[in-house]
A and B are shown apart, each in its own frame.
Chain A
């Protein structure tokens, strides 16, 4: 039988050699590996990060956009004025912008897009971004005036999200399968289950991109991802699914590892509504039982930055509060005794990502060391969303909150970990009325202190963006201020 196998191998080998062509000298295309395939390509009607990873900044653009380090840059809006009272924003749009179908992008399209996103029957996944908008009007073809109900210091930031991109009324419903935006790339082809291809938009209003074509390939299996890099079938994995082999690729002169930051605060969330976790002493006891570095090393192969509060360490407003939650098992046991809790058993729900499944095992061991038993329940995403996130039916869970600047979730009354303390809400209201950047940062610091001092959750680490790419590929994002693969600055050095 092995003879037969060899014979058929030899035949196919001959076939293959005949079919392979010569390699290209100068490359103007790139193959990007992504772990998840987007369900569809409309960023305004689904929360899936995989959609933004393909279309954000490449195909679709908003009024503003995120820069590589999270700063807010102008996009379709060339400039803007904000009225004294912080309620009226006047956006001056770029002239001569067209959609990929050739129609002009005017102020009316902006009005349409924002009104669609905030309408009653809207299925926008981030509707809160538009919650403060009272009215959107077109003053003339290139001027849009947005009036807010109340001042919102985050408004320009909100408009940079992928969920706030500008779409045309004619194509809004078909963007799911045939996205029509204003970006420097236009959609070319989607081979479902395999790849999405975008190509250079020759009529782009801004600076044209250097790449002619980009293909996003969907490879979820860690071993397959490694093989695809090694075989040079894929040029880059911005988020590489197999951190255990990252060092092997980095040691190879053809590739380099790119490790940056993300907006993902990974936390051990506690159900603040449920006994005995409604007792701050019990929560503090759990916090002191946890050794973050052990989790980062054991579950994440050392990639990740410890955090002491729910805030990204690279943000200027970040406050280092790690001292409040130092690893101190002795203190844990004292606090548990003080709270009169003995023989505590808690459930620990773990969604599929490695940070949760691997991290959860380590957390369980650390909790056992201070006398808290855990029952680990592995759940799928859909189940996690319904049971833990939707119904709040859990004691502990490990999860990474990947939305940028999302500390506001601690002020939500119906949120799954159930905090929303008056002390937090008071600072939050003040923040919304404040437009001065320094004062805002100070208030953001107060918010971080509030949730750290009340031990709402165990803040574990900031998720790292561990990617890998061909050494000759330049201009890719190092950090991930939003989950996107911005190819507008990418080019081949050789």
Chain B
């Protein structure tokens, strides 16, 4: 297990380093000058030069790359060009929206998907199975932003149970959870549909395995065999999908953030890209890369916990 962890950690660090170089270079070749963006149409060349100097845009490329890396190592991401506040503060503030939203959505999605998937598999080809699979098919087909608009129309505009968007902050946790509820439902439904289908097919596969038949042969009921032997083995693909989904929910909620005008990480990245606030863009992207790689790392460890065979097979 120790060797497994060590190998995984080294590959994690190497991936991060490569990602940082790619991110830095790609953003450098992008056309668009942040100083010109900030000063607009009527500005003078002197004011532009003064601002470029002030923003540190005149230093050579390698020096800026190394400076960025060294800063990140100690948690200093630099000062945003446009917002003029530390990037780390901006990101932490946005994470307080994006992270709870992703967790909320993932929790909802799991709570819906696992029971539905298990029920459908246990009643294979029965009425429950058919209706569950039909509904999840619709759930996958629905674009989440469209579903989000329907939720807003129903629950914010007509029923007035929720506000149509915005985020009041965590000073009042009740209001904060309430503000995240519609977005979390909109995000969770398509994910839950995918997850339920994966749960069902994975469980059906394991129910056909020899050891399940053996378990039945030694006298367990269908239900007992499913819960004790099949379910745990069927969870591996489900955990993989959950890991992917969490990365998606964290980084890919940008459209939902726009529909509900939530101050999340995706919107920060979007605003920063259009304002050529490169220092914010690359830090946000870096954080997301870090999150995705870490989640993959955790999923790998989760496999090992669920299935002891994988611990011995470690690279």
Contact = CB atoms under 8 A, between A and B. Distances in A.
B234 interface: no
Contact of B36 (A4, A5, A221, A390): A390
A15 B130 CA distance: 33
A72 interface: no
Nearest to B82: A39
Contacts of B132: 1
A127 B274 contact: no
Contacts of B214: none
Interface in B147-205: 149, 152-153, 156-157, 160-167, 169, 174-175, 177-178, 181, 185, 189, 192-193, 196
A15 B84 CA distance: 39
Nearest to B277: A39
Contacts, number: 196
Nearest to B189: A5
A138 interface: no
Nearest to B81: A39
Nearest to A217: B166
A37 B51 CA distance: 21
A47 interface: yes
A231 B155 CA distance: 9
Contacts of A177: 84-85
Contacts of A401: 41
A171 B164 CA distance: 37
A403 interface: yes
Contacts of A121: 50
Interface stretch (B236-244, B254-262, B282-290, B296-304): B254-262
A231 B160 contact: yes
B314 interface: no
Contact of A39 (B139, B167, B259, B275): B275
A297 to B, nearest CB: 27
A382 B40 contact: no
A227 interface: yes
Interface in A6-62: 8-9, 12-13, 15-17, 19-20, 37, 39-40, 45-48
B164 A227 contact: yes
A193 B38 contact: no
B258 A224 contact: yes
Contacts of A12: 178, 181, 185
A194 B46 contact: no
A123 interface: yes
Contacts of B189: 5
Interface string B49-93: 011001000000000000000000000000000111100001001
A434 interface: no
B interface majority secondary structure: helix
Contacts of B181: 12, 16
A381 B42 contact: no
A46 B54 CA distance: 13
Nearest to A380: B274
Interface string A381-397: 11101110110000000
Contacts of A428: none
B315 interface: no
B33 A390 contact: yes
B156 A19 contact: no
A231 B47 contact: no
A430 interface: no
B46 to A, nearest CB: 7
Interface string B257-270: 01111111001100
B223 interface: no
Contact of B162 (A16, A128, A390): A16
Nearest to A193: B263
Contacts of B149: 223, 227
Contact of B84 (A40, A128, A195, A387): A40
B90 A224 contact: no
B37 interface: yes
Contacts of B161: 13, 16-17, 20
Contact of A194 (B156, B167, B175): B167
B33 A221 contact: no
Interface in B106-151: 108, 111-113, 115-116, 132, 135-136, 139, 149
Given A221-B259, A385-B32, 10 more contacts: A1-B116, A4-B192, A15-B178, A16-B161, A20-B161, A220-B258, A230-B164, A380-B274, A385-B40, A387-B31
5 contacts: A40-B84, A47-B41, A48-B38, A224-B259, A382-B36
Nearest 5 A-B pairs (CB), nearest first? Answer: A47-B40, A193-B263, A382-B32, A39-B82, A4-B112
Interface of A: 1-2, 4-5, 8-9, 12-13, 15-17, 19-20, 37, 39-40, 45-48, 120-128, 176-177, 191-195, 217-221, 223-224, 227-228, 230-231, 233, 352, 380-383, 385-387, 389-390, 401, 403, 406, 409
